[in-house]
Amino acid sequence: MWEKELLWKCNTISTFDTSKTVVSKLNGLVSPFSIYLDGEIGGGKTTVCKSIGKFYGFSKIISSSFSKVSYHQNSNKKDLIHCDFYNVVNQSEFFYNEVFDNITSCCIFLSEWSSFIYELKMQQFYMKIITTGDFNRNISFYMLHSTQ
Q: Tens digits of per-residue pLDDT, 100-146?
A: 988 988 899 999 999 889 999 999 999 999 999 888 999 999 999 98
Residue 41 above 80 pLDDT? yes
User: What is the reported pTM?
Assistant: 0.91
Distance CA 136, CA 12 (A): 5
Residue 29 above 60 pLDDT? yes
List the single range of 2-11, 22-31, 120-129, 137-146 with lowest mean pLDDT: 22-31
Distance CA 115, CA 93 (A): 12
β-strand partners of 127: 37, 141
In 3D, which of 68, 25, 24, 17 has the Cα closest to residue 44?
17
Asked if 42 and 130 count as a contact pair (C-beta separation under 8 A), the reply is: no
